[in-house]
């Protein structure tokens, strides 16, 4: 079943379609954007393609029951997500201050969704419709499916399936699961007995009928014992595999949470189908007078080509949500979307991105991943690139070549991240050459995150010297191509394992390459990541070794300031950090110094000599290490 309309958001829309009742009402914390970069649109279109009628209630007023009644009682049940982001991350900065904009709301307006939106929406639905089936999904539900540390309340919370009073939780991308659930409900099966579908979690009173499972420490244990929390997370982390993974159970008060093993990745044909459904590729017209939805601007002229990531950065939730096995769309599917994009009235000739979690991953790391699963105790890229990894950029390169040759296409950029360690492992430099020549918009964004080997170890990132090698190769190729392009590195302060000494080491590196980042990201402990477990427990759950955690506001501010040591407003923090670390040698007038001494302690002649010396040494260094 296909059509060229937005899904109903009012009773009038239902009447226009000739519907008396929808099969499912999907309630979401985002504004309604019918684009495949948004989970609400994907799930709705997949259900529609399977023959079901879907209505959407976007950003309902949770302070009353009226909005939840807008489309009436659905025939089969409610589907609930918080939106494309965890609602707490959407609302608050790492400093727990309220954000100024919500990019997923009309005009960027804040306040249109509640904190912990999934829980609030489900509880309101229960008030109105009592025992109707409720299925939760999306990033918020997916990453909070077990008892989890919640940074904003600084405590361990129960599974979101328990707190929301929902019946079933779908984790991961969920296209297969949602259709299977819908089919069972349509056949008349009570949702309490839908317990066998991969990629789902359910509640049960006892474990008598649960087979071949691993029981992890209970909610009570993980909420009172940090070592138990780390032990529980390690099992969750290691069993996150659709082929070798086991069912996991966790006792909660008066019930058990049961997680079935992950759903298998979509085949290329299945993924192509998901992306060729009749999306409107924009927000609902109701938002036009409200200033539109800012989030569409980033993705409107971008193409999602892949899912999943075997990069396994410790602070990233993709492993826990999309998994380590990479899936990608066919060349034909990507080309077709690119052609359609060129026909948009506001297309200016520029495709902003063709990528995914990691743009230059197009297939599983190695052939055995689809047969026996990902390695339980080994990573694909850390501490070095695995000898079994299939390093090949040619398929991705072929896609880029064909898209950039399309009529009306002036330029194809790559703005989603690339793994430079994977690029450096490729003995063929063709991809890097063409990336630099055709696909960089003046600045290539990469994510070394840090330079200290000790910090990178806890991040699961390659050693800092490899980034330096990549950087040198990048500039060498640019020079040969006679291009003036730069690298913009993403850097992170205060990650578990990062000390003041580590931050100073990074500051010295930034001094040496003559680069000062405009923005630095403080580590943000979001649910479902290895790094968040370290932050909460002070332990590396994979080794159970203690990890240094910078937690005080003062130290975190000092670490962040060190990475922007040239900014005058950070002077006092940088000075205090250097004194505290015993690095007074970096306070002075020599080239190696990060800041000058306090007060005007030197006369003007010395200061003038200092500036001249800096200019001279800076020019000499930049001949070797030009950065920006």
- Arithmetic mean of pLDDT over the chain: 94
Q: What is the pLDDT of residue 614?
A: 52
Q: What is the pLDDT of residue 615?
A: 52
Phi first, then psi, for residue 49 (nearest 5°) are: -65, -25
Residue 416 lies in a domain: yes
Residue 474 lies in a domain: yes
Its sign, for the CA torsion 323, 327, 329, 331, is: positive
Residue 431, pLDDT > 70, answer: yes
Report how far residue 402's alpha carbon sits from residue 518's, in angstroms, rounded to the nearest whole number. Answer: 35
284, β-bridge pairs: none
Pairing state between β 200-204 and 255-259: antiparallel
Residue 220 lies in a domain: no
Residue 621, pLDDT > 60, answer: no
What token pair was written down for 504? 């100073």
Mean pLDDT across 99-109: 98
Query: Are residue 469 and residue 573 in the same domain, yes or no?
Result: yes
Residue 235 lies in a domain: no
Mean pLDDT across 474-484: 96
Residue 179 lies in a domain: yes
Query: Are residue 428 and residue 456 in the same domain, yes or no?
Result: no
- What CATH number did the domain enclosing 73 receive? 3.40.50.280
Query: Are residue 431 and residue 415 in the same domain, yes or no?
Result: yes
Residue 504 lies in a domain: yes
Q: What is the pLDDT of residue 627?
A: 41
pLDDT-derived band at 602 (thresholds 50, 70, 90) equals very low
Q: What is the pLDDT of residue 109?
A: 98
pLDDT tens, residue by residue, 23-37: 999 999 999 999 999
Query: Are residue 70 and residue 189 in the same domain, yes or no?
Result: yes
More confident residue, 606 or 211: 211
Report how far residue 625's alpha carbon sits from residue 512's, in angstroms, rounded to the nearest whole number. Answer: 8
Contact 26, 70 (CB under 8 A): no
Phi first, then psi, for residue 59 (nearest 5°) are: 50, 55
Report how far residue 194's alpha carbon sits from residue 182's, in angstroms, rounded to the nearest whole number. Answer: 10
Report how many domains make up the chain.
3
Residue 625, pLDDT > 50, answer: no
Minimal CA–CA distance to 549: which of 527, 559, 534? Answer: 534
pLDDT-derived band at 366 (thresholds 50, 70, 90) equals very high
Report how far residue 383's alpha carbon sits from residue 39's, in angstroms, rounded to the nearest whole number. Answer: 33
Range of the domain at 593: 448-628
User: Model's pTM, two decimal places?
Assistant: 0.93
257, β-bridge pairs: 203, 250
Element (H, E) at 521: strand 521-522
Q: What is the pLDDT of residue 518?
A: 86
pLDDT-derived band at 620 (thresholds 50, 70, 90) equals very low
- What CATH number did the domain enclosing 552 receive? 3.30.750.200
Q: CA dist 351 to 202, 266, 362, 478, 487, Å? A: 42, 26, 19, 22, 20
Query: Are residue 393 and residue 507 in the same domain, yes or no?
Result: no
Pairing state between β 33-34 and 282-283: antiparallel
Burial 58-84 (b: 16+ CB within 10 A, else e): bbbebeeeebbebbeebebbbbbbbbb
pLDDT tens, residue by residue, 159-194: 999 999 999 999 999 999 999 999 999 999 999 999
Query: Are residue 471 and residue 405 in the same domain, yes or no?
Result: no
What token pair was written down for 429? 């430099």
Query: Are residue 433 and residue 567 in the same domain, yes or no?
Result: no
DSSP state string for 466-494: HHHHHHHHHHHHHHHHT---EEEEEEEES
Give the contacts of 312 (CB within 8 A, at least 6 positions apart): 319, 324, 379, 380, 381, 382, 460
């Amino acid at each position: 079943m296909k059509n060229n309309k937005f899904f109903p958001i009012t009773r009038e829309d239902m009447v226009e379609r000739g519907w008396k009742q929808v099969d499912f009402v999907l309630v979401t914390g985002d504004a309604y954007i019918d684009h495949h970069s948004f989970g609400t649109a994907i799930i709705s279109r997949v259900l529609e393609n399977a023959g079901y009628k879907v209505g959407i209630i976007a950003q309902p007023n949770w302070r009353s029951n009226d909005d939840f009644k807008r489309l009436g009682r659905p025939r089969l049940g409610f589907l609930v997500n918080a939106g494309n982001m965890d609602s707490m991350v959407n609302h608050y900065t790492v400093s727990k201050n309220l954000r100024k904009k919500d990019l997923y709301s009309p005009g960027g307006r804040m306040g249109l969704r509640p904190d912990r939106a999934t829980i609030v929406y489900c509880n309101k639905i229960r008030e109105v419709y009592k025992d109707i089936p409720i299925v939760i999904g999306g990033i918020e539900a997916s990453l909070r499916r077990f008892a989890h540390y919640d940074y904003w309340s600084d405590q361990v919370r129960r599974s979101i399936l328990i707190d929301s009073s929902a019946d079933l939780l779908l984790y991961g991308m969920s296209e297969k699961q949602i259709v299977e659930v819908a089919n069972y409900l349509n056949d008349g099966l009570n949702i309490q007995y839908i317990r066998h579908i991969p990629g789902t979690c359910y509640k049960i009173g006892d474990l008598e009928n649960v087979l071949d499972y691993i029981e992890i420490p209970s909610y009570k244990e993980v909420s009172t014992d940090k070592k138990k929390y780390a032990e529980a997370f390690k099992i969750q982390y290691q069993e996150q595999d659709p082929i070798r993974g086991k069912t996991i159970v966790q006792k909660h008060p008066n019930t058990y949470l049961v997680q079935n093993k992950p759903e298998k990745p979509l085949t290329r044909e299945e993924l192509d189908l998901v992306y060729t459904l009749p999306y409107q590729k924009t927000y609902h017209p109701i938002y036009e007078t409200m200033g539109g939805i800012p989030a569409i601007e980033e993705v409107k002229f971008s193409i999602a080509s892949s899912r999943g990531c075997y990069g396994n950065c410790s602070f990233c939730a993709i492993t826990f949500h999309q998994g380590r096995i990479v899936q990608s769309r066919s060349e034909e599917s990507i080309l077709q979307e690119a052609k359609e994009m060129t026909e948009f009235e506001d297309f200016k000739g520029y495709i902003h991105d063709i990528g995914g979690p990691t743009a230059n991953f197009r297939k599983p790391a190695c052939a055995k991943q689809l047969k026996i699963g990902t390695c339980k105790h080994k990573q694909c890229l850390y501490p070095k690139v695995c000898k079994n990894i299939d390093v090949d950029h040619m398929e991705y390169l072929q896609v880029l070549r064909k898209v950039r040759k399309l009529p009306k296409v002036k330029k194809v950029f790559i703005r989603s991240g690339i793994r430079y360690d994977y690029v450096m492992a490729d003995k063929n430099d063709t991809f890097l050459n063409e990336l630099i020549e055709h696909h960089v918009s003046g600045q290539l964004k990469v994510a070394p995150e840090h330079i200290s080997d000790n910090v990178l170890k806890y991040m699961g990132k390659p050693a800092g010297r490899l980034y330096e090698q990549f950087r040198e190769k990048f500039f060498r190729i640019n020079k040969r191509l006679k291009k003036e392009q730069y690298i913009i590195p993403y850097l992170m302060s205060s990650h578990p394992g990062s000390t003041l000494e580590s931050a100073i080491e990074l500051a010295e590196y930034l001094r040496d390459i003559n680069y000062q980042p405009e923005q630095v990201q403080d580590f943000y402990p979001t649910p479902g990541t290895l790094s968040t477990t370290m932050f909460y427990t002070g332990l590396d759950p994979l080794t159970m070794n203690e990890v240094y955690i910078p937690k005080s506001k003062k130290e975190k501010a000092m670490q962040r300031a060190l990475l922007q040591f040239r900014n005058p407003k950070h002077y006092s923090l940088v000075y205090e950090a250097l004194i505290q670390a015993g690095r007074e040698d970096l306070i002075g007038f020599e080239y190696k110094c990060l800041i000058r001494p306090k007060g005007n302690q030197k006369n003007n002649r010395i200061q003038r000599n200092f500036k001249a010396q800096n200019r001279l040494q800076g020019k000499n260094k930049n001949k070797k290490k030009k950065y920006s």
